Amino acid sequence: MEKSALIVAGGIGKRLDSHTPKQFLILGDKPVLMHTLSKFSHLDKIYLVLPKKYFERWRVLCEKYNFNIKHVLVEGGENRFFSVKNGLNAINSTDIVLIHDGARPFVKKELITTLINKVSSGFGIIPTINATNSIRIKEGDNLKAINRDSVFKVQTPQCFLFNEILNSYKIDYDKIFTDDASVFESKQGKIKNIIGSYNNIKITTPLDYELAQLLIKQVN
């Protein structure tokens, strides 16, 4: 079966308070996005979704850092939903697709393999980790405590049979679609989870970036 990765990197660094988009920040010896793509280099194809205005910047970086992992560039959309949709529509043919955040450079290949092995017709597979803090939900003017053992933090990559997730993205956009699993469920797809990793962080804030700088030293 053919397996492809769809890497979504449409961020512009607003929450990171950086003039450099987070996917281009230097992590260790190269940009964040290069670390991310390298984790999927064993798959058949990689599709990278970027804002069109960053295409040339990315090409210059690839030349500067001698980055030669093959991938296809796809123009992003106005938000993550439309960027993923553009990416899926750009895929010529594949059997399984893993959709991943470009700003998650610490995903392990073992996790990728497990996701691929677990996916099946009608079921998307996602990595999750348990909440560690106390959790409350708002009901009216009150905050109600809930059992944190029933709360999970969702990560990427999220893995699907390609034709099924492609069909799911034919739906109209809704603000409740915060990830690919929620889009898949809107078309009556089912979601199963596997244990993710606390190191599989998404670089969003300055503190995330500082943590990533520490983690990359452990990896290297």
Per-residue pLDDT of the chain (220 residues; tens, 9 = 90+): 999 999 999 766 565 556 788 899 999 999 999 999 999 999 999 999 999 999 999 999 999 999 999 999 999 999 999 999 999 999 999 999 999 999 999 999 999 999 999 999 999 999 999 988 899 998 888 999 999 889 999 999 999 999 999 999 999 999 999 999 999 999 999 999 999 999 999 999 999 999 999 999 887 6
pLDDT in tens, 175-188: 999 999 999 999 99
Length of the chain measured in residues: 220
Parallel, antiparallel, or unpaired: how do β-strands 45-50 and 3-8 relate?
parallel
Dmax over CA atoms of the chain, in Å, equals 56
Rounded distance between C-alpha atoms, residue 49 and residue 4, angstroms = 13
Q: In CATH, what number is assigned to the domain containing residue 147? A: 3.90.550.10
Do 39 and 111 contact (CB within 8 A), yes or no? no
Distances (CA, A) of 21 to 12, 25, 102, 113, 176: 4, 7, 11, 29, 25
Number of domains forming the structure of the chain:
1
Range of the domain at 155: 3-219
Do 126 and 155 contact (CB within 8 A), yes or no? yes
Instruction: Kindly report the pTM of this predicted structure.
Output: 0.94
Burial of 72 per CB tally in 10 Å (0-12, 13-18, 19+): middle
